[in-house]
Structure 1
Amino acid sequence: MSRLASPATRRTRKTSLLVALNIWIQRQLPMTFEFRKVLAFRSILDRRILKGKINQVVRLSFLVLFLLVQGCSTLPFYSNDEPKSYVNLATVDWAPEPHFYSETSLPTKKPSDNALRDGTSFREAKLPPERNDYLKQLSGSFELDHHLDNHRVQQEIAKLQRNPNYFNSLQFRLERYLPFICDKVVSLNLPGELCLIPIIESSLDPFAFSSGGAAGFWQFIPSTAKRYGLKIDWWVDERRDLLASTDAALDYLVYLNGRFDDWLLAIAAYNWGEGRVARAKKQRSSDVGFFDLRVPAETAEYVPRLLAFAAIFAAPEAYNVHLVINRADIDEQALAIVDTIDQLDVSKAASTSGISVETLYRINPALNQWSTHPRGPHRLMVPARNREGIQTALVNIPPDERVSWIRHKIVRNETLGDLALHYGTDVATMLKANKMTSTRIIAGDYLLIPRSTIPIERYPTPDLNRNTNGAVHIVRGGESLWTIAKRYRVTTDTLMRTNRIGPSEIIRPGRKVVIPQKASPEPVVREIRYKIKNGDSLATIARKFNLSVSAIANRNALDPEKYIHPGQELTIDVNVNSARSR
């Protein structure tokens, strides 16, 4: 009776077969192939059973090489990255049109005869007075090769030609924000094309918000924003500050260009990440350009889209695109910076300046609360035509009238957090105002606390966390945030956000928890596309964007009882101020 081979014997047989196969492969038609340069093979070669038994450089026949490549085509390119669709820019012929341009478009048209050539001749032609004079000036700062013979760039130009209403929908923002950004770019002697990046990133919408938590004109994620000095706290979100976010973005782009010595690679790294671009570049050779790299589909569209925008901004008429930006219209919308000297109540600034509170918040979208940030920068954006008069008026506000102060007597069981919530300020500001070095307070002592001059709810701020007029619940023994949220029919996230409670913080008996009750002001809502990742569920996605499962399911015609799958795309209406982006 035959006996079954032991596991060790079976492993030895497999090794012998693999070694024999390796020898046979090397005798085939000559074609050198180095296994170790392929990440998919590297982990296999390092296994103990194969280590040292198979040559890492072999000569393969075309047939065997084809089978190996086909067999490995399903392996991940980077084991630690999320699944992505990669595109080889050197060989790509076509890619699906992204959800970037307006849905309203004319029937597909072929580009005109002039559509795929640079607009140099147009820029040199004489223009009628006051007609597109700003675009002519801007195009003179363009320095990059627009690669108009590249198929991807041609595709992006054609998409813009098929969507003639796209630039019309951006006209107001182009006139208000773009000149400010472009003037900054030009003042630093950087390529003028860089100032078009915020159009692609956010459509120049300060409240633009992505599924990954990026926000603002330049779509900074919180970690990169803080790395470049942007404040994201109770008072402000400087990713929505035109001046601060532009300075940070240009610093980042200059750094990326210094690292890669190639502006197109720097722009790709801004979108995809500098580490990923460095790895993709390392896999080719040191002197490759962007169009030689293997990059995800999003980045494969991103850089050609910027080049397409630059070509059209340089010569809109050459591409049959209606795009007019005149200096006279810019001057009408222009904003300017005024110095507030110190922290300033927005209501006081508005009444002193002779403009409405609503207007002041609209042109200063970074503001979250009733005043400017107590730790600066002490400035506001105002209509440029009124700048001198507003600056004079703000300078003349007496120091004791810039914010209101209250002298509060501390009672037993009060904390600085309770007082900050009640008076609409933060703990750091109270510590600074009272020259305190710790948060310990004693009943019977007094604190000076800054507070708004009018009721908090009358400030039309975008921040939804300023509600201090809800019910107050006193925590009892055995209660948790979950039980309190269930009792009052709110989410735990809402309680944590309103009461500034950290995810691992313990709430103790006797603590006051504010339960928001009043209706919030009109939310700032943006539609985004979210691609489902491994481990996602409707519940986790709903928590991430502070929505209900039913809201997401109804928006996408889904059955909440059924599974969702990685790679599936959802349309989500996000309130950019309440979504969890930090």
Structure 2
Amino acid sequence: MHFFRTPCLFFLLFLGGCATTSDHSPQPPLSAPSEPTVSQLPQHKASQSKPSPSEVILLKPHQHNDVWQRIRSQLAFEPTQHKKVQARVDWYMSHPNYMDVISVRAAPFLHYVVEQVERRGLPIELALMPLIESDFNTSAYSHKHASGLWQLTPLIAKHYGVKISPWYDGRQDIVDATNAALDFLSYLHQRFDGNWYHAIAAYNTGEGRVAQAIKKNKRRGKSSDFFALSLPKQTRHYVPKLLAAAQLLREQKMKFPIIANRKAISVLTLKQGVILNTDKQWQKIQTLNPGYTRFPALLDGPKHIVLPVEQVKQWQGYLAKLPAMPSSQWQQYTINRGDSLSVIAARHALSVAQLKTFNQLKSNNIRAGDTLLLPILADQQLDYTVRAGDSLWRIANHFNVSISDIKKWNALSKDMLRIGDKLTLFLSNS
């Protein structure tokens, strides 16, 4: 893992923390509990609450039937009765259906995230962070241009090797985004001398702000623990949100719908880009691989693909007998004299590799008069100017596309549009 050393990067990270949703609960002040450090964290500690008779025999993490209980059995942060945490507990309790929605979204991904946290020996509470960051919404965007389950900003994502291109946004890939988020959290943990509350706060608002707040309190002879720091309102609510979710799970005050404690997804090697001949057959792939912004063209992404475990054999059979792509789905280009793959690719903002993959070409040889398919899922690309009275819903409905696609194509972090904004739309007659 690379640490940030230069003043430029430090300044950027001072401003560029990861974003999350706003808090709606009251925030009364109170003195802070002690915070966990490396030496204070118990390893794989069982629940702090009094065990019920059914829990007298402690299970190993993988032996639980439910992923939520797997998390519960390893909660490591000390319980706290701080009023900010209890206010958030009350908020959760007043929204009894909240965890129903969260569990549906989390079901494909939570087991994977838990395994990655365990593999690194990190506090299991970190597996709850996508709940706080994005409500386990893989396509979530924030006003700070953060994206995905872990709400990574472009700056942080690129620093940790996550690819972002017009074709692919790896912040929405469960594998690359989870690796980057846990790398960043591990760095912040070390940066703040083993204090997890400080590290988690810095993940939200940037390490510079947290470091400055700590320095300011120490200079004034005040406590430097998280609850005593002067931080942005969003960040002051952020850590309590996580601690409240952990408390609800520890004390079983709220129903967490069961998510089977078994592998839900498989991560398979993807040696080259793939163009699916029908998106209806592979809708689950789109759900699990939202980083591909021009689905079903799986181009310019990572060297892996995420699949439901039950579709692995079907996928392997599909690749073994890769069917021809229906030309009616894609734009067509007739090769002219003097054309080359590099010329055609450059003309359409593609790489030669993408063009070859898309047309299943094994060489660079092409002939005038032949037809190539262009990886644009549309009959036309339209540049649309927002007019008075427009909304994302109105535009999506008019052009028969989805709001989420419009936001992906244009990297929109919110639903608000302004008159005169330019939107790129990919339209299809099919």
Shorter-chain TM band: 0.5 to 0.7
Task: Indicate whether 1:522 and 2:412 are aligned.
Answer: no
* Structure 2 unaligned spans of 5+: 1-13, 17-26, 32-45, 358-366, 388-395
Q: Structure 2 CA distance, aligned partners of 1:235 and 1:447?
A: 26
How far off its partner does 1:123 sit? 4.8
Task: Indicate whether 1:379 and 2:316 are aligned.
Answer: no
Distance 1:244 1:173, change over 3 A: same
Distance 1:180 1:81, change over 3 A: closer
Task: Indicate whether 1:468 and 2:380 are aligned.
Answer: yes
How far off its partner does 1:217 sit? 0.6
How far off its partner does 1:304 sit? 0.9
Counterpart position of 2:48: 120
Q: Structure 1 CA distance, aligned partners of 2:51 and 2:420?
A: 53
Cα displacement string for residues 172-193 of structure 1 (whole angstroms, at most 9, x for unaligned residues): 1132222221111111111000
Counterpart position of 1:192: 124
Instruction: Specify the structure having the higher radius of gyration (Cα).
Output: 1
* Structure 1 unaligned spans of 5+: 1-79, 83-89, 95-117, 435-443, 458-466, 471-484, 493-515, 528-541, 552-574
Q: Which residue identity is paired with 1:456?
A: L
> Contact 1:335 / 1:383 at 8 angstroms: preserved in 2?
yes
Number of corresponding residues: 355
Note the aligned Cα RMSD (angstroms). 4.6
TM-score (norm 2): 0.68
Identity of aligned residues (%): 25
TM-score (norm 1): 0.52
How far off its partner does 1:326 sit? 4.4
> Which residue of 101, 112, 126 maps to 1:180?
112
Counterpart position of 2:255: 322
> Which residue of 191, 198, 201 maps to 1:259?
191
Cα displacement string for residues 382-431 of structure 1 (whole angstroms, at most 9, x for unaligned residues): 221232x1353155246x96999999634689997875676xxx433459
What secondary structure does 1:120 align onto? coil
1:132-171 equivalent positions in 2, closer than 5 A: 133-146=66-79, 148-171=80-103
Task: Indicate whether 1:238 and 2:174 are aligned.
Answer: no
Task: Indicate whether 1:428 and 2:364 are aligned.
Answer: no
Cα displacement string for residues 48-67 of structure 1 (whole angstroms, at most 9, x for unaligned residues): xxxxxxxxxxxxxxxxxxxx
> Contact 2:277 / 2:326 at 8 angstroms: preserved in 1?
no
> Contact 2:333 / 2:374 at 8 angstroms: preserved in 1?
no
> Which residue of 356, 359, 372 maps to 2:284?
359
Distance 1:134 1:407, change over 3 A: closer
How far off its partner does 1:295 sit? 1.3
> Which residue of 444, 447, 456 maps to 2:377?
456
1:498-577 equivalent positions in 2, closer than 5 A: 519-524=399-404, 547-549=417-419
> Contact 1:142 / 1:192 at 8 angstroms: preserved in 2?
yes
Q: Structure 2 CA distance, aligned partners of 1:449 and 1:524?
A: 29
Cα displacement string for residues 418-458 of structure 1 (whole angstroms, at most 9, x for unaligned residues): 75676xxx433459959xxxxxxxxx989996645xx824x
Q: Structure 1 CA distance, aligned partners of 2:342 and 2:417?
A: 31
Q: Which residue identity is paired with 2:401?
A: P
Q: Structure 2 CA distance, aligned partners of 1:521 and 1:182?
A: 35
What secondary structure does 1:382 align onto? strand
Q: Structure 1 CA distance, aligned partners of 2:98 and 2:251?
A: 16
Counterpart position of 1:276: 209
How far off its partner does 1:468 sit? 2.5
Counterpart position of 1:478: none
What secondary structure does 1:176 align onto? coil
